Amino acid sequence: MHGALRGGEGVNLKDAVELVFSSTFTVIGLIWDSITLPVTVLDHFAADFDIPSSVMNIIAAVLSMALIVVIVFAVIASLKKGDI
């Protein structure tokens, strides 16, 4: 990016800043939209197999906790190894 900004043609500083901000907000929007995706998938799964919503809420909570535990242990292991 530095070379493109210093060159005579190509991307100028204004366009580079606009590109960075627009791509950042696009990624944030995709992440925000993906938060509701597992809930929607579990709702449709429950509706397809006639599973009560209370059971699906418990399953969703257990899956969420398991995912969080895996992420926390992965971060701790990376910190101990010095990867982060």
Q: Are 57 and 64 in contact (CB under 8 A)?
A: no
**Per residue in 8-30, pLDDT tens?**
566 677 777 888 888 888 999 88
Q: Confidence band (pLDDT; 50, 70, 90) for 2?
A: low
Distance CA 3, CA 62 (A): 49
Distance CA 84, CA 22 (A): 27
Cβ neighbours, 10 Å, residue 38:
13
Output 83 or 75, whichever has higher pLDDT.
Answer: 75
**Per residue in 26-72, pLDDT tens?**
999 888 888 888 888 888 988 999 989 889 889 888 988 999 999 99
What pLDDT score was predicted for residue 62?
A: 92
